[in-house]
Amino acid sequence: MGATEDCGPLCRETLREIERFLDGELDQTVEVRIQHHLSDCNPCMHRAEFRRHVKVMISEKCTEREVPHGLSARLHELLRDADR
């Protein structure tokens, strides 16, 4: 069974928008809806926290050089695949 097979529409929306949520790029209505969902859904909260930790780790460890071309896109792809 995939990680999102048993999730409902709110879980799918949350996981689809999680990167933009963590980056503060969502409009307030969607952000509030996702915050509310995360407060009630442990699986989505754990996924969000994992992504947040990855972002922090990358920002702390990759400060001396520019991110290699394509690395950011590859990381996003790997994280998306992890939710399937």
- Does 3 fall in a domain? no
Q: How far is residue 7's CA from residue 59's CA, in Å, rounded to a whole number?
A: 30
Fill in the amino acid letter for 74. R
| Counted domains in the chain | 1
- Does 47 fall in a domain? yes
Query: Does residue 2 carry a pLDDT above 80?
Result: no
- Does 63 fall in a domain? yes
- Does 36 fall in a domain? yes
- Does 4 fall in a domain? no
- Does 1 fall in a domain? no
Evaluate if pTM is beyond 0.75.
no
Query: Does residue 24 carry a pLDDT above 80?
Result: yes
Q: Looking at residue 17, what is its pLDDT? A: 92
Identify the residue with better confidence: 72 or 28: 28
For residues 44-68, give the mean pLDDT.
83
Q: Looking at residue 83, what is its pLDDT? A: 66
- Does 2 fall in a domain? no
- Does 14 fall in a domain? yes
Range of the domain at 60: 9-82
